[in-house]
Structure 1
């Protein structure tokens, strides 16, 4: 069962909205009257509260400038014009359900100064804040935790009712009221939360839960394996793209450190196209980019070989590792190298990489296709050394006086500084 606005009232309000859209101005009193009429329709307009707060802001600013004189003319902002157009379009068919039915899913969310966490049934996820987000008020962070939790854990759902459990009363209020006027930042996040839900025909309610009963989400928002969030500096990545081309996907990334729009994360993530890169077929990508945790390098190389995939891989220049000869075997282009300093690798919580004083990274274009690797090796010259260097007695890797070089299968691989 639903409630809707009467036809006569609807026609009157739509007419007033059209008049303001046409003139883009009017007296403060007339605009305040229209706001009152719109608010009165909320019991019959499901998403009405989402589309009137710019009106209130414009009216309040106009009153402030006019010293409280309601007879002064005001000019509407572009945002208010857009919201008026929404009312003109949707009010004629708007209605509001009296009861949305039982709750289908409950999500527990929490935020700390470090990150956010969310739980739905047995599914859990978490994430760090970006440097820009970390400076926000805790109320905004709590609302962002709700948004990211919904996106990460409930993105596959449609036509359901979800209850958000939070220990932050402000977040609960802004979600239930579809926004507010006291904090414009909180209102903006509430708008994003509700439009995420509207796109999926999901109804949301929020309820307060004491912090003592929200322990699991709280732990997720505070405890992280922080070493997984390292990323290449944007300038360095731009040079990599110049050398090897733009990749289709970043296979080991997260919401805050992906270098291309499409990325895979290792746990549920708000915008990831793939959860766990190892569950996908890498050969479906024209060219991937992967900067994996060092402990997963061997596994990544094995997957590239088995699936005959092609892409860009960043590895440390550790010649004695068992996987290093596999890297050389899969090369299809001249490797680039870069010595790590405080600016090469970035992390939202850590100033510099613990190995920055001794780490050198190798950026390689690799392929599991033997035709490509063979074609690359045929272009290489046989092993030789620069005048003054020691002669190579076997096919071992070495660093010559003129740069980073390797000898592999009797071929000289000379790396270029990035």
Structure 2
């Protein structure tokens, strides 16, 4: 933890040596949460935005709180390890006392060796936890000092994660810190020197790094490209960093954006978009006039000042007629040449490997499953060494697949369209469930899957649900709604690096859906809004489960009287507060095992029990003439009969057939 104190995480407390009975209740797991009433009193302006536990108002305070909680958790692990050591030492003392009473016993000696081994392991856990506490407190002290400087979070993370050193708080990164602080100060002075003070906050509010997403419209978009040469800026300011250059350009474009002119800019490459040719020409003239007033000159040789519907921009070929995008030939060849340089090599320099990942990341926006092809290569880069001259070893198995993917030059859609099919999925430790267009699907886990992590089961549930509903989803845009954030991330980000099994599942899912679905996206939904899929995952509905519509129930009760007990029901299908069910129920699980003051498979047994007990019942059952069961009318001689047309039936998992309703007493 001292080599990378910021990125290192407290080890899980699931180990038997670092677990204390009721440890969370006794305060060993984490810092006690602030009382909500106190938090509302201290932060009344932010209380309305809290969806869960109270949160501190600023990002810096939240990071300090997280570091404090991490240190507290590590100290709690050390305390539980001390409890374990004390217990083991007491056991050792008792074993030694028994050993001294008689001759050496091999069983007792074996127990002593095991206790000593566990004691050493607990000591190791305690030492690691105490080291985590100390390194986290160092990170917290660094964070307090770094908050005094205007520095990006990415730059702060590098200094927070520096190895702990006795030479000083920032250790060996002191020289880099001084250089970085000087660069940040130059950027701030350059921006404040060029942009007006009143306009600076507004210009800096523009989101940077946003993906290229033209408006979702069926109209064709006309585009042209401008390549302005900034001559009004000092050379050292332009060469300071691309970020400063882009920020300055955004300040110049801010008045045009306010007028409704849509411009995408990156460095000196600008793209103007409009819905019609005339409107685009009008916007082009306004942009040229605005640049002329600012003293900026446009390179007309490299620019395309005529409206077109297909254009190359930032290495992408954009087609506004078909709303598709693909890589240009030049960008494709640069990626392929970089990939082919890895052929027949088992290890390459780190800089070369990162250059390849940079090419692939730039192309991932318009490359179908572009991020998915990067994941195996990113895993090769997960090394402990931070030396830029290091060597990265790889298996070479991922390169042929990547070469084939980029050689195909596939196109990606710029707009998914408003129409999509929604699939709700959920998983539990026992099974999975899904709902799509009123139809349900579910199943149980068997074999090794019973031991899988819940995140893996949630992602597998999505794959099984899409397979089950494939006839309804084929060649359509599909939106998956799930209450698991990891599943959403691994689908939308096309895999990840945390879990190898989830990455394999995501790869299998995305490759499977690529040839069968138009697109696949996932969004998070709160658990309380995903109850149907959740119920199916925990206890899938029996094939014979169904429920009468409440209006039909009221019609029956108005003629035969209101029932007091619902037999063969469930919490979802019951119409009475008292009912029998196969699961948890107020009156019990087996309705046939009880005397009644009181499913198609139980219809014959129910009629036999009516005869035996001579009870008066209200019997509602599907009208299935092909089923072999006693007639409903023969044993019920008292009371009128009633038949429904079946249109007011609510299925629990599938459509229902017409029903027959009868009331009476067996004679």
| TM-score between both structures, scaled by the size of structure 2 | 0.32
Structure 2 match to 1:119: 435
For residues 382-408 of structure 1, the C-alpha deviation after alignment (integer angstroms, 9 at most, x for no partner) is xxxxxxxxxxxxxxxxxxxxxxxxxxx
SS in structure 2 of the partner of residue 108 of structure 1: strand
Structure 2 match to 1:74: 392
SS in structure 2 of the partner of residue 187 of structure 1: helix
Structure 2 match to 1:215: 531
Matched, 1:205 2:527: no
| Aligned equivalents of 2:343, 2:423: Cα separation in 1 | 40
Structure 2 match to 1:278: none
| Aligned equivalents of 1:11, 1:57: Cα separation in 2 | 24
Given that 1:115 and 1:222 are in contact with CA atoms closer than 8 Å, whether structure 2 keeps it comes out as: yes
Matched, 1:137 2:459: no
Give the drift of 1:218.
0.6
Structure with bigger helix share is: 2
| Aligned equivalents of 2:406, 2:423: Cα separation in 1 | 35
Residues 35-114 of structure 1 mapped to structure 2, 5 A cutoff: 35-60=357-382, 63-64=383-384, 67-90=385-408, 93-114=409-430
| Aligned equivalents of 1:105, 1:226: Cα separation in 2 | 26
Give the drift of 1:88.
4.3
| Aligned equivalents of 2:420, 2:517: Cα separation in 1 | 13
SS in structure 1 of the partner of residue 381 of structure 2: helix
| Aligned equivalents of 2:435, 2:543: Cα separation in 1 | 23
SS in structure 2 of the partner of residue 172 of structure 1: helix
| Aligned equivalents of 1:174, 1:72: Cα separation in 2 | 30
Structure 2 match to 1:196: 512
| Aligned equivalents of 1:87, 1:154: Cα separation in 2 | 25
For residues 142-192 of structure 1, the C-alpha deviation after alignment (integer angstroms, 9 at most, x for no partner) is 111111111111256422101101011111111111111112211111112
Given that 2:372 and 2:494 are in contact with CA atoms closer than 8 Å, whether structure 1 keeps it comes out as: yes
Matched, 1:182 2:182: no
Give the drift of 1:114.
0.8
| Aligned equivalents of 2:517, 2:539: Cα separation in 1 | 33
| Aligned equivalents of 1:227, 1:43: Cα separation in 2 | 45
| Aligned equivalents of 1:226, 1:79: Cα separation in 2 | 46
| Aligned equivalents of 1:114, 1:123: Cα separation in 2 | 21
Given that 2:421 and 2:473 are in contact with CA atoms closer than 8 Å, whether structure 1 keeps it comes out as: no
Query: Which of 15, 30, 45 is matched with 2:337 structurally?
Result: 15
Given that 2:435 and 2:441 are in contact with CA atoms closer than 8 Å, whether structure 1 keeps it comes out as: yes
SS in structure 1 of the partner of residue 520 of structure 2: strand
Q: 1:118 to 1:83 in 2, by over 3 A?
A: same
Give the drift of 1:227.
12
Structure with bigger strand share is: 1
SS in structure 2 of the partner of residue 26 of structure 1: strand
| Aligned equivalents of 1:84, 1:162: Cα separation in 2 | 26
Structure with higher Rg: it is 2
Give the drift of 1:80.
2.4
Given that 1:51 and 1:86 are in contact with CA atoms closer than 8 Å, whether structure 2 keeps it comes out as: no
Structure 1 match to 2:309: none
Given that 1:113 and 1:138 are in contact with CA atoms closer than 8 Å, whether structure 2 keeps it comes out as: yes
| Aligned equivalents of 1:154, 1:141: Cα separation in 2 | 20
Q: 1:157 to 1:83 in 2, by over 3 A?
A: same
Q: 1:207 to 1:218 in 2, by over 3 A?
A: same
Q: 1:164 to 1:227 in 2, by over 3 A?
A: closer
Matched, 1:33 2:349: no
Given that 1:21 and 1:85 are in contact with CA atoms closer than 8 Å, whether structure 2 keeps it comes out as: no
Give the drift of 1:208.
1.0
| Aligned equivalents of 2:509, 2:419: Cα separation in 1 | 17
Q: How many residues are paired up?
A: 225
Give the drift of 1:18.
1.0
For residues 180-238 of structure 1, the C-alpha deviation after alignment (integer angstroms, 9 at most, x for no partner) is 1112211111112111211214311111111111111111001147999xxxxxxxxxx
Instruction: Identify the structure with bigger relative contact order (alpha carbons < 8 Å, sequence gap 6+).
Output: 1
Give the drift of 1:81.
2.6
For residues 8-63 of structure 1, the C-alpha deviation after alignment (integer angstroms, 9 at most, x for no partner) is 22211111111112434321210111101101111221211111111011111xx3
Given that 2:433 and 2:540 are in contact with CA atoms closer than 8 Å, whether structure 1 keeps it comes out as: no
Query: Which consecutive residues of structure 1, in runs of 5 or more, have no partner in the other structure?
Result: 229-294, 296-321, 323-418
| TM-score between both structures, scaled by the size of structure 1 | 0.50
Given that 2:466 and 2:473 are in contact with CA atoms closer than 8 Å, whether structure 1 keeps it comes out as: no
Q: CA RMSD in A?
A: 2.5
Q: 1:168 to 1:82 in 2, by over 3 A?
A: same
Structure 2 match to 1:304: none
For residues 320-359 of structure 1, the C-alpha deviation after alignment (integer angstroms, 9 at most, x for no partner) is xx9xxxxxxxxxxxxxxxxxxxxxxxxxxxxxxxxxxxxx
Q: 1:89 to 1:25 in 2, by over 3 A?
A: farther
SS in structure 1 of the partner of residue 342 of structure 2: helix
| Aligned equivalents of 2:542, 2:387: Cα separation in 1 | 56
Given that 1:18 and 1:88 are in contact with CA atoms closer than 8 Å, whether structure 2 keeps it comes out as: no
| Aligned equivalents of 1:133, 1:155: Cα separation in 2 | 26
For residues 272-314 of structure 1, the C-alpha deviation after alignment (integer angstroms, 9 at most, x for no partner) is xxxxxxxxxxxxxxxxxxxxxxx8xxxxxxxxxxxxxxxxxxx
| Aligned equivalents of 2:354, 2:341: Cα separation in 1 | 14
SS in structure 2 of the partner of residue 132 of structure 1: helix
